[in-house]
């Protein structure tokens, strides 16, 4: 995932931080049950989803949390694609 984000923001550096209090430990998102029960299948790839999200953030900068804006002032906010 980090590599997909970095593709959208060249020069991005990642900073490892402790998990915030209350964040769940472990687990992951899965669509297996949606597929099994409803026959649902994703129509876009994760890479395309990251690209769309980055473009949306570029058009909607107020959606970026203040703490992230403060940390990313030196990084570009406009996606490559």
pLDDT tier at 11, thresholds 50, 70, 90: confident
Average of per-residue pLDDT values in the chain: 83
pLDDT at 67: 78
1 has pLDDT over 70: yes
Residues 6+ positions from 25 with CB-CB distance below 8 Å: 19
Phi, psi of 49 (to 5 degrees): -65, -40
Average pLDDT for 69-76: 59
Average pLDDT for 2-28: 85
55 has pLDDT over 60: yes
């Amino acid at each position: 995932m980090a590599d997909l984000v970095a593709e959208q923001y060249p020069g991005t550096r990642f900073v490892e931080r402790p998990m915030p209090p209350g964040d769940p430990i472990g687990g992951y998102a899965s669509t297996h049950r949606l597929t099994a029960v409803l026959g649902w299948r994703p129509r876009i790839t994760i890479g395309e989803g990251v690209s769309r999200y980055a473009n949306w953030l570029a058009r909607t900068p107020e959606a970026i949390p203040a703490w992230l804006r403060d940390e990313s002032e030196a990084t570009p906010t406009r996606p490559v694609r």
